[in-house]
Amino acid sequence: MAGFFQNMFLGDPNRPDFTPEMLPKNRLELFWAMLKQHFFNLLKANLIYLPFSIPLWLLVWLNVQIMLSILTRSAETTAAGAILPFFKEGYFFIFVLGMIPCLTIQGPAMAALTRLTRNWARDESAYAWADFWSAFKANWKQGLLVGLINGVFFFFCAFGIYFYNFIAEQSPVIAVLQIVLIAVIVLYLSMSLYLWPMLVTYDLRLRHVFRNALLLSVGRLPFSLLFTFITALPVVLCIVAPGAVIYYFLIGFAFHSFINVSYTNGVFDKYLNPQIEGAAVNKGLRPK
């Protein structure tokens, strides 16, 4: 028993001394090693972040109930039959307008969560509770503004979808504009992949953060689309099977943030950090 407590507090004396050669040799090894090491930290971070997402979940739930009530009083028997009244009776605009304050509230918390997962992904120390609130205080202004910009952007995109599908007469020009709008939405979503990690990592003005995020999103378009798809896939699954929403309540927000920053840490080490004097690169990786 004495040996058990000695190993717990002092370590195993038979374990070999740590050497740099024991570190992961590539990004994939680093991802799996840090995921195993910080899995329970991700659960805790997700729990801390969760209250900030509740307004958005309530908004979505309320509008789903409205669509179901439209469906029950309508002669239509399919979900598609409830969508048109949902748009025409103004519920859709109330929904997207409500997303503006919901996404604004999420902004500072998203910045704090990204700061935590960024540190864990590159094998840096971070305490779930203390460092979350420390990052929240340090980034709340920019986080609020980015959340507000996100909400306004999606509001106008929703207006464009409504206009092209329910007001404008169908024509080849309208079809092209619809494709352009969808491309803009996808590009903006892929920018978010770089935007949040850059916001909490570098001391930049917000317009420079958006510009660099746009350049990286376009410059690494295949990877940007891939990780955007990985992020969006559980959302689609929750629409198809609403019970899957438990994934987000348990670990989903923190886990996808961890996946994304594991990728963007490597991108920043390749394109940004070498241009900054004194910036460390390849944190957590075996020295070459």
Q: What is the mean pLDDT of residues 262-274?
A: 95
- Reply yes or no on whether the pLDDT at 117 is more than 60: yes
Angle, to 10 degrees, between the axis of helix 91-121 and the axis of helix 27-73?
160
Least confident of 15-29, 34-48, 154-168, 238-252: 15-29
End-to-end CA distance of the chain: 42
- Reply yes or no on whether the pLDDT at 119 is more than 80: yes
Q: Considering the domain boundaries, does residue 162 fall inside one?
A: yes
pLDDT at residue number 19: 64
Q: Considering the domain boundaries, does residue 175 fall inside one?
A: yes
pLDDT at residue number 9: 44
Residue 262's pLDDT band, with cuts at 50, 70 and 90, is: very high
Do the beta carbons of residue 120 and residue 38 sit within 8 Å?
A: yes
Q: What is the mean pLDDT of residues 142-157?
A: 95
Q: Considering the domain boundaries, does residue 8 fall inside one?
A: no
Q: Considering the domain boundaries, does residue 14 fall inside one?
A: no
Residue 277's pLDDT band, with cuts at 50, 70 and 90, is: confident
- Reply yes or no on whether the pLDDT at 170 is more than 80: no
- Reply yes or no on whether the pLDDT at 10 is more than 50: no
Structural domain of 188: 40-275
- Reply yes or no on whether the pLDDT at 278 is more than 50: yes
Q: What is the mean pLDDT of residues 99-103?
A: 95
Q: Which residue has the higher pLDDT, 77 or 115?
A: 115
pLDDT at residue number 123: 92
Q: In the chain, where does DSSP find H-type helix?
A: 2-10, 27-73, 79-88, 91-121, 128-162, 172-201, 206-219, 221-240, 246-247, 253-271
Q: What is the mean pLDDT of residues 234-261?
A: 92
What gap in Å lies between CA 115 and CA 110, rounded to an integer? 9
- Sequential DSSP letters for 92-158: HHHHHHHHHHHHHHHHHHHHHHHHHHHHHHTT----HHHHHHHHHHHHHHHHHHHHHHHHHHHHHHH
Q: pTM for the complete prediction? A: 0.88
Least confident of 18-32, 53-67, 266-280: 18-32
pLDDT at residue number 121: 96
What gap in Å lies between CA 179 and CA 48, rounded to an integer? 38
Q: Considering the domain boundaries, does residue 48 fall inside one?
A: yes
Q: Return mean pLDDT, the chain.
A: 87
pLDDT at residue number 88: 67
Q: Considering the domain boundaries, does residue 169 fall inside one?
A: yes
Share of the chain above pLDDT 90, in %: 61
* pLDDT tens digits, 212-224: 999 999 999 999 9
Q: What is the mean pLDDT of residues 227-244?
A: 90
Q: Considering the domain boundaries, does residue 124 fall inside one?
A: yes
Least confident of 56-70, 85-99, 125-139, 177-191: 85-99
Smallest Cα–Cα separation from 82: which of 63, 68, 96?
A: 68
- Reply yes or no on whether the pLDDT at 16 is more than 60: no
Least confident of 169-178, 220-229, 246-255, 276-285: 169-178
Smallest Cα–Cα separation from 45: which of 263, 251, 244?
A: 251
pLDDT at residue number 66: 80
Q: What is the mean pLDDT of residues 131-137?
A: 96
Q: Considering the domain boundaries, does residue 98 fall inside one?
A: yes
Q: How far is CA 52 from the centre of its chain?
A: 13
Count of domains forming the chain: 1
